[in-house]
């Protein structure tokens, strides 16, 4: 961190430290800078406290004991108090930050989350500018001009006595990637006459589109799911005006003949259903998540976690602070690691997700929809996704049916996010798989990727454009949507069903999934192996699907009966 010595009033010496010093850019082509904040505008900001590196390493060992099948402690997840006992900032650090936010920022609305690692405050913007020695401006999205966020336009700093305890102050720097659905209006496109009956489960007019019955036939989960075990739950995360409305959930449920109408049991963060009737965008992505997570999870209570600004830090802290957190959550948002503007941010998110996983929560992320080139596009190096490349989330890639409208073998979707992280090392539970894959013949030049990085995705589901997903949006308008943003809630709902089986058998939730998934992959028979297709993003290069785990589709797609059997054996 960069420090500077200042002479303040009265001649007193004060040291300050620039935060997130590897951040060099404070603008985005997709966001237009507007007016400077008003002095009195209230802002919600979070101070993420540092953890001792050795403590993090010890906690990771603890997490692996809890999440590795065969361990004596498998599934014995930690309470918030136990997480704090094993990994939390020092009392000195918490006190230093609290003293700063009260006496320097003048905050009266202060909250420390249960894990003791985040201090949340609401304060006037003018106080933030002065205390952090920066300037804040409104920014609007170039396409969706009603979306407004406040960001710094230059570095920010903290007094060194405070900065030594703080990793990042969120969200001041990052410009979120808006999640845009590529929805196509339904056309008179039907499956062949000899296609399986599941294709017509939502009506013959829509028989060329993936629906819940097609997914159930391919992956074998219980459908419809009419009961649930006490304590089970699933959630989807939505951001930035991605709301939902009951009208479209009812229309989709009725059209596809679901035994029960899809409903949301709890909304954390609010909802504005009327927005779903205006324009095309704001509800397409959220309705995709809810319609498919809800259809597959069935009776299992479905929650929606909503935040008006896209913030992984906010999501992680909200999960940590929840009295009744979901046992599995699907998040269909992400960015490139290179666009995350700093290691401190990614490491803070990574540690938070590690704590969530140790608490018994399965965190599932879409791997991305631009193949190996990511959202930055074609270049001299691949652009790995974040947080799909975090070792403490389960990354879901994408597939297509090999033969259109035929429920059978799958191939890698060319736009599925895939590859190796530049930020995080190969995870311990995947070293054998990564090593074996890197010995295969059909690999791109090693100059394009970090062969020592965490490999992803971990597994996949249908996501491509050969047969798009059917959704209801804007008061019963039907359209087709593709992307790993469809695959992620499907996988999350399948995991929720396996959680149901475990809870019914008196066992715990699956929690942090990856060691279990890789153990299941090694055992054989739990996944439909995908052995064709390359994630070149429509350009060139990319990773090709091979036998076993690969950096295109992970272990492939779930065979429900086998994965449930494996999960119940521990």
Q: What is the mean pLDDT of residues 432-460?
A: 97
Other beta carbons within 10 angstroms of residue 403's beta carbon come to 12
Q: What is the mean pLDDT of residues 188-193?
A: 73
Q: What is the mean pLDDT of residues 455-467?
A: 96
Strand, coil or helix: 423: strand
CA atoms within 13 A on the CB side of 46: 23
Where does the pLDDT of residue 282 fall: very low under 50, low under 70, confident under 90, or very high at 90 and above?
Answer: low
196-207 pLDDT, tens digit per residue, is: 899 999 999 999
- Classify residue 516 by burial, with Cβ atoms within 10 Å: 0-12, 13-18, 19+: buried
3-42 pLDDT, tens digit per residue, is: 555 544 444 456 999 999 988 889 988 899 999 999 999 9
Strand partners, 233: none
Q: Is 294 annotated as ligand-binding? A: no
Check residue 189 and give its pLDDT.
66
Is the distance from CB of 419 to CB of 372 less than 8 angstroms?
yes
CA distance 249 to 226: 17
325-357 pLDDT, tens digit per residue, is: 999 999 998 888 877 778 999 999 999 999 999
And the tokens for 84? Answer: 């704090």
Q: Is 548 annotated as ligand-binding? A: yes
Catalogue all structural domains in the chain, each as residue range(s) with its CATH number.
16-51+88-170 (no CATH), 209-568 (3.40.50.200)
Q: Is 550 annotated as ligand-binding? A: yes
- Classify residue 238 by burial, with Cβ atoms within 10 Å: 0-12, 13-18, 19+: buried
Where does the pLDDT of residue 188 fall: very low under 50, low under 70, confident under 90, or very high at 90 and above?
Answer: low
Phi-psi region of 420 (alpha: psi -120 to 50; beta: other; left: phi over 0): beta
Using the Cα atoms of residue 273, residue 279, residue 284 and residue 285 in order, give the sign of their dihedral. negative
Q: In degrees, to the nearest 5, what angle opens at C-alpha 312 toward C-alphas 420 and 448? A: 20
% of the chain residues with pLDDT over 90: 82
When computed from its CA atoms, the radius of gyration of the chain, rounded to whole angstroms, is 23
Residues serving a catalytic function are 285, 289, 485
% of the chain residues with pLDDT over 70: 95
**DSSP per-residue letters across 24-62:** ----BTTEEEEEEPPTT-EEEEEEEEP--HHHHHHHHHH
Check residue 278 and give its pLDDT.
67
CA distance 405 to 393: 31
Select from 121, 67, 134, 56 the least CA-distant residue to 89.
56
Query: Is the pLDDT reported for residue 432 higher than 90?
Result: yes
CA distance 248 to 284: 10
């Amino acid at each position: 961190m960069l420090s500077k010595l200042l002479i303040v009033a009265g001649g007193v010496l004060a040291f300050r430290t620039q935060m997130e010093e590897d951040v060099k850019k404070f603008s985005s082509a997709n966001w237009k800078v507007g007016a400077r904040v008003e002095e009195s505008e209230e802002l919600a900001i979070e101070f993420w406290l540092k953890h001792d590196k050795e403590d993090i390493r010890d906690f990771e060992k603890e997490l692996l004991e809890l999440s590795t099948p065969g361990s004596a402690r498998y599934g014995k997840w930690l309470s918030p108090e136990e997480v704090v006992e094993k990994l939390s900032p020092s009392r000195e650090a918490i006190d230093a930050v609290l003293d700063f936010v009260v006496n320097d920022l003048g905050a009266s609305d202060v909250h420390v989350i249960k894990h003791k690692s985040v201090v949340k405050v609401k304060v006037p913007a003018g106080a933030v500018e002065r205390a952090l020695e920066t300037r804040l401006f409104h920014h609007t999205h170039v396409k969706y001009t009603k979306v407004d966020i406040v960001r710094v336009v230059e570095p920010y700093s903290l007094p060194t006595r405070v900065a030594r305890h703080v990793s990042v102050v969120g969200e001041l720097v990052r410009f979120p990637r808006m999640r845009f659905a590529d929805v196509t209006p339904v056309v008179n496109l039907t499956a062949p006459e000899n296609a399986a009956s599941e294709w017509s489960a939502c009506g013959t007019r829509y028989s060329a589109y993936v629906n819940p019955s097609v997914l159930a036939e391919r992956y074998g989960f219980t459908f419809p799911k009419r009961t649930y075990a006490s304590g089970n739950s699933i959630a989807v995360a939505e951001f930035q005006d991605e709301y939902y409305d009951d009208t479209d959930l009812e229309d989709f449920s009725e059209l596809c003949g679901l035994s029960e109408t899809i409903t949301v049991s709890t909304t954390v963060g609010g909802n504005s259903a009327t927005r779903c009737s205006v324009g095309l965008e704001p509800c397409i992505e959220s309705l995709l998540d809810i319609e498919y997570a809800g259809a597959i999870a069935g009776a299992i209570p479905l929650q929606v976690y909503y935040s008006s600004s896209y913030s992984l830090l906010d999501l992680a802290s909200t999960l940590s602070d929840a009295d009744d957190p979901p046992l599995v959550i699907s998040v269909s948002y992400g960015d490139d690691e290179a666009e995350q503007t700093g290691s401190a941010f990614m490491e803070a998110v990574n540690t938070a997700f590690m704590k969530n996983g140790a608490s018994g929560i399965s965190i599932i992320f879409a791997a991305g929809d631009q193949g190996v080139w990511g959202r930055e596009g074609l270049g001299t190096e691949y652009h790995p996704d974040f947080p799909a490349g975090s070792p403490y989330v389960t990354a879901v890639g994408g597939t297509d049916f090999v033969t259109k409208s035929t429920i059978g073998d799958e191939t890698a979707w060319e736009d599925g996010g895939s590859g190796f992280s530049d930020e995080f090392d190969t995870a311990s539970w995947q070293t054998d798989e990564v090593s074996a894959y890197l010995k295969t013949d059909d690999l791109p030049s090693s100059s394009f990727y970090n062969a020592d990085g965490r490999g992803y995705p971990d597994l996949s589901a249908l996501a491509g454009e050969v047969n798009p997903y059917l959704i209801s949006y804007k008061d019963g308008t039907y359209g087709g949507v593709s992307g790993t943003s469809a695959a992620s809630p499907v996988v999350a709902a399948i995991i929720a069903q396996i959680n149901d089986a475990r809870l019914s058998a008196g066992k715990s939730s699956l929690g942090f999934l990856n060691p279990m998934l890789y153990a299941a992959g090694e055992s054989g028979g739990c996944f439909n192996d995908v052995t064709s297709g390359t994630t070149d993003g429509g350009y060139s290069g990319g990773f090709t699907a091979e036998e076993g785990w690969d950096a295109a589709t992970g272990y492939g797609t779930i065979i429900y009966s086998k994965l449930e059997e494996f999960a119940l054996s521990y």
